[in-house]
Structure 1
Amino acid sequence: MPSVSHPRPPYDAELLAGLSAVPIPAFTAENLQGARAFFPTNADHLTGDGTIEHTERTFKGPESDLTISIFRPTTSKSPSQSPRPCIYSTHGGGMIVGNRFSGLAEVLVWLKAFDAICVSIEYRLAPEHPDPAPIEDCYAGLLYTHEHAAELGIDPSKIILTGISAGGGLAAGLSLLARDRHGPKLLGQLLVAPMLDDRDLDYVSRRQLADAVVWNLDNNKYGWTSLLGERAGDNNVSCYAAPGRAQDLSGLSPVYIDVGSAELFRDEDVNYASRLWEHGVQVEFHVWPGAFHWSDALVPSHPLSKSSMATRMEWLRRLLEIDFKK
């Protein structure tokens, strides 16, 4: 329950009402397989209207074969041989659920607006595959994308990382890993309500919103414990797994972060943005009043959801220096 000394910020009433129409599964050990069944298992819902093409590639990963899905608009505005920007997506799901087909509805809007290509990685999930499996899979997919950019039709200088929730945490960790391994130079990272820190620090939002809708404190502890096991919360955790732990945030590409005022990750995201600024990184940061975790995807017709999606689109436009009128 919320702390008496820290009353919970209110949910937006219309957003909360919209949530009642969406069956949110329980993200628990007992219901893990049921929660995984909540997510689509193919690309049909993304390609059904004929405006998006989907292909796949399989390649050798750190321990086993990995698969990426490649999405591109069927009608391109660019010359056939012209390389295009790439949105590299690491899906959300608390490190325990989701797949490369989930959470991409907004990304496909970006593809059409910017004539871009999306690469979505199928990384291995915890608890069956604990850290460092997820982040190493994501890095392997990024390397493959960069090394095969020409044949994929991608401009290797215009790779943007994106992810929601745990996917946002993986994108943040991936940016740190690419910097430290002298890997691909990234154009930017767009992090939506990223899951960044396993530690039980003095984040007020974790007390205010312990019983938050969609993703609560129990879910969060289960996700981190699934990923890190007994190391969760102690000193032996890599910043690539939990980017909120990073001591050095310098030398990173521009970052966009947004989060709801009524969600568990609010304060760790505020802290991460502040520390990025401290290290000289260009950051755009938004807190959406009354929004809860994943509310814009679950209730996309709400004005606040539309505003958040439009603001992300505008950041991408500026990053890519694309004029909508062209």
Structure 2
Amino acid sequence: MIPGPPGAPEVLVQLIDPGAGDDRRPVFLHMHGGGFVAGSAGRNPAFLQTVASELGCVVASVGYRLAPETPFPGSLEDNYAALRWLNREAERLRVDTDRILIGGESAGGGHAAMLAIAARNRGEYRIAFQLLTYPMLDDRTGSSKAAAAHTGRVRWNAASNRFGWSALLGQPAGSDHPPEGAVPARVEDLSGLPPAFIGVGGLDLFLEEDIDYARRLTAAGVAAELLVVPGAYHGFDVLAPEAGVSRRFRQARLSALARALGRTL
């Protein structure tokens, strides 16, 4: 447990320490998925273990508070508290604060995008890279903005999206005035954000919003890599982890993290 935001409970952070090397290690700060309303820091352990073992990263996975019990900005502030803690405890943890990478899957990808925006705006701590895996970025998808007809048919659909976003925002998804910084796709200025990798399936409800976010990052001068996996639905790599397409997707994500650290796999 680490100190939480001012006036809030402590935050659970699960650490994976690669245990190798005498130098300061890079960090991967991870936010789990779950539609903003479910999930835990222990999600996706195999990928996180691989990040630690293959890249020598200290992995910190955040057990942020969930909606609707804790609406925005509670979860963002929990994730920011983890970023603050990593910087303040850098010497004890033997981590390099210039090499803090962040990321997550689905809602966790949305949380990572929110954290990158908040860190830029506050100017206290540096984030070197954001790994956004089929990120949940736009509350309007499936509410005030129709999704493409071929997307959102498997696992996560428009109704799920409305529920998750409404729980987080404390107001109906797609409303005119969401809380500032809560919806990455609605943030007008994306300049100055860390480089990003965005990966999404061609049948995912988030396909169009993820493509658009990558486009807007690039237009704002942010280096952004976009990978669209044809025929893949939301969370395909979790439901079919041994499929060739899932293995290649995991490798693409690992390679993106490696490149952010100046390495190749």
Q: Do the structures match in fold with TM over 0.5?
A: yes
The answer to whether structure 1 residue 163 and structure 2 residue 104 are counterparts is yes
User: What TM-score comes out, normalization by structure 2 length?
Assistant: 0.94
One-letter amino acid matched to 1:58: I
The answer to whether structure 1 residue 60 and structure 2 residue 4 are counterparts is yes
Residues 225, 232 of structure 1: 8 Å contact kept: yes
User: What TM-score comes out, normalization by structure 1 length?
Assistant: 0.77
Point out the structure with max Rg over C-alpha.
1
Tell me which residue corresponds to 2:192.
251
Identical pairs, percent: 37
**Structure 1: runs of 5 or more not aligned:** 1-56
- CA deviation after TM superposition for structure 1 residue 209, in Å: 2.8
Residues 92, 103 of structure 1: 8 Å contact kept: no
Residues 238, 245 of structure 1: 8 Å contact kept: no
**Structure 2: runs of 5 or more not aligned:** none
The answer to whether structure 1 residue 265 and structure 2 residue 206 are counterparts is yes
**Cα distance between partner residues in 2 of 1:60 and 1:220:** 28
Partner of residue 209 from structure 1, selected from 133, 151, 163 = 151
How many corresponding residue pairs? 262
Tell me which residue corresponds to 1:133.
74
Tell me which residue corresponds to 1:71.
16
RMSD of aligned alpha carbons: 1.5
One-letter amino acid matched to 1:73: P
Q: Deviations over 1:12-55 (max 9, x none)?
A: xxxxxxxxxxxxxxxxxxxxxxxxxxxxxxxxxxxxxxxxxxxx
**Cα distance between partner residues in 2 of 1:238 and 1:287:** 29
Q: Where do 1:12-161 residues align within 5 Å?
A: 57-62=1-6, 63-74=8-19, 76=20, 78-79=21-22, 82-161=23-102
- CA deviation after TM superposition for structure 1 residue 314, in Å: 1.5
Q: Deviations over 1:168-208 (max 9, x none)?
A: 00000100000000021111000000000111354543x43
**Cα distance between partner residues in 1 of 2:256 and 2:264:** 12
Partner of residue 301 from structure 1, selected from 238, 242, 259 = 242
The answer to whether structure 1 residue 185 and structure 2 residue 130 are counterparts is no
The answer to whether structure 1 residue 287 and structure 2 residue 237 are counterparts is no
**Cα distance between partner residues in 1 of 2:203 and 2:254:** 23
- CA deviation after TM superposition for structure 1 residue 323, in Å: 4.7
Residues 197, 243 of structure 1: 8 Å contact kept: yes
One-letter amino acid matched to 1:274: R
**Cα distance between partner residues in 2 of 1:162 and 1:136:** 16
Tell me which residue corresponds to 2:261.
320
**Structure 1 moving runs of 4+ over 4 Å:** none
Tell me which residue corresponds to 1:50.
none
